[in-house]
Structure 1
């Protein structure tokens, strides 16, 4: 049976990809996850034990990674590398875990797949490209120059460069995808959309950085998963694919949509201290992914996907509730 090693497979996006693999392939899945605060065993509770094995470990630990990759001996076995520290605010307070996980962890993984000649797909972010002006009609493409602006995006850019260097210098069979902002079930409440949803669900006012004008290109995590599987199975080795679903919305538009979904006034918003170095706008041109691989999003309507996500959080307060007060206390201490 085909085996897929998914690093970070207990996290928000990684766990969704694990479920997608189970639904759309016959592969067995090995999940390597450090189980930090942003991961969740609950996201994998209902997976079949005969197809998914969870290994608690650090992607930066050479012995652990080498041992797992060495077991991928089939011609179609592969590694999909989601594991990353990914929260911009946390990277501004302490960049060191981002360097360790995102750069050192990727190096360790690259050395393992090089040694054992295993196919690798590396998950990256559109944030490596910096930002666009709010009134700029341009979008990011695969040829956009890197211009990261935070410790998080800089470490992801460094990881991307390592993957390309190992592919060119050592012949590692690798592809890269840079995705826009994800939303959907199982995302930690420190992130923008679940933070605002859970504030509204608790009867509190949502919090918006600055004037809320910053624009993100939102994609449902289910669409991210289907795109990654398409690249893994049909992508060109050495190629980079941008993943997006034409979901550009300002932060203010997103929050007002959440308020409407819960029959709250769109004016019930607190504007708080902006994030340092806050990127203005992200926008993805996914033409290559769509034309070369025939991929299309299953959630092209952002408002419908957001409504599904709000319902999910309303039904799973037992999961996010225990972390909520601590997250809000940390934001409040920073005036956010």
Structure 2
């Protein structure tokens, strides 16, 4: 198939290309697209040199699948253009996630939703994906009534400029200089702050509301009570979630470990006595969602608490997109149910 990578020079785009090399080492039917500023850059993929092209309305002729990882504004412009040209669009932005006609997919959880896509499929926010990956197998034991999720999100979730800012601020502060924020709303070096994106009228941030709305849509569970607090931390890669789940009936920690260990794409790392638990540094570059510190929630007889970590650029974005494409191919749904 002919694949287009829109945003090929960005952080997620580059991870997507690395994963294509690892998963499909012979695949060279690629079109690398980016902004006008990045056009002309040369990139090597699977032994072939590609010249990055500017994304235009004519970029999607003969493209079967278009992976789009750019700004929400650019996605809104080019997503429908690519779909009209006949491509299956797999979009990483928030542009289409909550549209009723657009599936929001984590393949291990709701891959069958790809059967009804109409040209565009959305990837959830990188903090939503690990949460639904652990919630899905656990609800086999008992329906989930409530989730409280507190995230510890790396700066790569805000893009390459935020990563550069963390490195530069750290050097500056270490030498006694001032740390002036630019790519982030607050200083990030040796600091954490509870704001990712803007605030809405309820007092939740846009990022927190995404987790609430997207989790309900992916799990097909509109009545789950869900609250989130999203925090930016001075870590380059990997997002963490402290998750508290309340079930209709009690679920033991042992039963949870068993269910989670059977979930594709989830790895249980849970031996606190030996200091074995997920950490950002060990999850970086890995495909799986890692879960540990699984225990009864002391505040509720039907609750469980756990610690979840995943590489936000891999499973949180690029890998999930490729897995959506693979699932669509397996289902014969690349070109969707056109209406």
TM range (shorter): 0.3 to 0.5
Larger relative strand fraction = 2
TM-score (norm 1): 0.41
TM-score (norm 2): 0.41
Larger relative helix fraction = 1
Instruction: Please identify the structure whose Cα radius of gyration is greater.
Output: 2
- Which structure ranks higher in relative contact order (CA pairs < 8 Å, sequence separation ≥ 6)? 2
